[in-house]
Amino acid sequence: MERKIRKIKEPTFNEKVAFLKKNKGEYKAGNLACVWSEPTIDLKAKYHYNGKRRLGYKIFFRTPYTPKLEDFKWKERHGHNLIESTNIQNLFWLEGMAPRVLDIIKFESSTRLYWAQVTELMEDDEQTSWTNKSLERATKLMKEKHIFLKHRDMGPFHCYGNYFVDFGDYYFGPNYKQGLIDRIKKEAPFGKTDKAYQSVPELKLVGQRNLKKRLEVLDFDKTDFRGKTVLVYGCNAGAQCREVAKRGASKVVGLDIPSITKISYELAFHLGFYNIDYYGGNFTHIKTGEVVYDKVRQLTAIEKFDIVLFLSCMQMGWIVYVKKICKEVFYFEGHKTEKREKYEALLKSVFPRVEYLGQTKDDNSRPAFRCLMNKNGQK
């Protein structure tokens, strides 16, 4: 299957950088990549990143640039595609064994283009060899995810504490895709069945809910997602998260139970969405909600989201703090066989403008609404 990768036609920053400071100051050069650790723009702000580590660029300056990212290899001669290497690195990150990659971009110097990762940075004093315990964890993960390795180099330039930073020789085995499908069915199922809750067209996986059919009623075209922060309650495998990211949202956060959010991350990485965050836990409270609101704010470092999606997840309890967390637009979908009137009064008690969109019909019939914090429409 040919993967659709989000392409950036122009660099995401304006600096014209010449590689004149390798191994000095801002630059740390390895055999194949050069890390720029002090970019002049605030990458944490740009990517709404709430991690403890700094962000920088890992620039692949040894391998010749290719116009298509799909053709670019971490190592020119025998390495694997940078997309595949990045996906594997992020799976290691999920287990606490690698820095996270938040994007793959075109990096422009004064003379040419390079492919680069936007990544977490390691500190100099962390550089060391892996322990046997870390190697056991890595081997277990590789077995579970059908990951293989041509050559393991445990030298000090590849290891920072228990973090591994060189994934040029890693690749997925032929059983990875089927394993991912099986994990989605297991971790994000429809009730107690062996069927996935959400369909994933890219994997030809048919689930109980079909986002394309839901959007015929939800009509996301009515809302401008470009540059917006979006929070998705009950995200399941992340179909809505990926959809609003495609529509230009600057940051997307999905909430669900921990086992589901882990598979949501893996699916997002597989499909080329590196900057969606998923958090597992209990984020609703029927009576008070203050403690839960603070929890969401602390996890995301976002005071208020521009757009909030609360689709078919009233089993979590009503989010009484909705006014504190939503700035502009709130999408709501009820449960199957329930009538419009059940929710309309509740929504009108919160929002100055409530639009009934109709009934989604991909799984029985569910009432759907678009609510605005501004009576005159989205800002």
One domain, residues 139 and 225: no
pLDDT at 76: 76
Last residue of a domain, one of 150, 172, 194: 172
pLDDT at 20: 41
Report if residue 11 sits inside a domain.
Answer: no
- Cα–Cα distances in angstroms (integers) from residue 200 to residues 180, 216, 275, 311, in the given order: 11, 17, 19, 18
One domain, residues 166 and 307: no
Q: Which domain holds residue 263?
A: 203-372
- Give the span between the Cα atoms of 72 and 62, in whole angstroms: 12
Total structural domains in the chain? 2
One domain, residues 218 and 349: yes
Report if residue 265 sits inside a domain.
Answer: yes
One domain, residues 164 and 239: no
Using alpha carbons only, give the angle 183, 186, 192 rounded to the nearest 5 degrees: 165
Report if residue 7 sits inside a domain.
Answer: no
Last residue of a domain, one of 128, 153, 172: 172
Query: Tell me, what amino acid is at 27?
Result: Y
Q: Which of the four pLDDT bands, split at 50, 70 and 90, describes residue 17? A: very low
- Give the span between the Cα atoms of 22 and 30, in whole angstroms: 9
User: What's 342's domain CATH number?
Assistant: 3.40.50.150
Question: What is the residue-averaged pLDDT of the chain?
Answer: 86
Is residue 264's pLDDT more than 90? Answer: yes
Report if residue 342 sits inside a domain.
Answer: yes
- Give the span between the Cα atoms of 300 and 302, in whole angstroms: 5
Q: What is the dihedral of CA 159, 258, 329, 209, to 10 degrees?
A: 110
One domain, residues 61 and 165: yes
Q: Comparing 15-19, 54-58, 195-199, 362-366, which segment has the lowest mean pLDDT?
A: 15-19
Q: Alpha helix locations (H) across the chain? A: 43-46, 82-94, 132-145, 176-187, 211-218, 239-246, 258-270, 290-300, 322-325, 341-348
Report if residue 12 sits inside a domain.
Answer: no
One domain, residues 39 and 167: yes
Last residue of a domain, one of 172, 193, 216: 172
> Which residues are 36's β-sheet partners?
27, 57
DSSP 170-237: EEE-TTHHHHHHHHHHHHSBSTTSSSBSB-BGGGTB--SB-HHHHHHHH-GGGS--TT-EEEEET-TT
Residues 6+ positions from 154 with CB-CB distance below 8 Å = 129, 130
One domain, residues 209 and 327: yes
- 129 touches 159 (CB < 8 A): yes
One domain, residues 362 and 242: yes
User: Which backbone phi and psi does 108 adopt, to 5 degrees?
Assistant: -105, 120
Query: Tell me, what amino acid is at 109?
Result: S
- 267 touches 239 (CB < 8 A): no
Report if residue 184 sits inside a domain.
Answer: no
Report if residue 296 sits inside a domain.
Answer: yes
Q: Which residue has the higher pLDDT, 315 or 262?
A: 262
One domain, residues 299 and 358: yes
Among residues 255, 300, 319, 317, which one has the least CA distance to residue 281?
A: 255
Among residues 147, 349, 180, which one has the least CA distance to residue 271?
A: 180
pLDDT tens digits, 33-50: 888 887 778 899 999 999
Rounded to the nearest 10 degrees, the angle between the axes of helix 176-187 and helix 258-270 is 150
Report if residue 142 sits inside a domain.
Answer: yes
Among residues 140, 100, 54, which one has the least CA distance to residue 269?
A: 100
One domain, residues 317 and 225: yes
One domain, residues 154 and 294: no
Mean pLDDT of 18-34: 55
One domain, residues 47 and 154: yes
Is residue 24's pLDDT more than 50? Answer: no
Using alpha carbons only, give the angle 134, 165, 116 rounded to the nearest 5 degrees: 155
Is residue 77's pLDDT more than 80? Answer: no
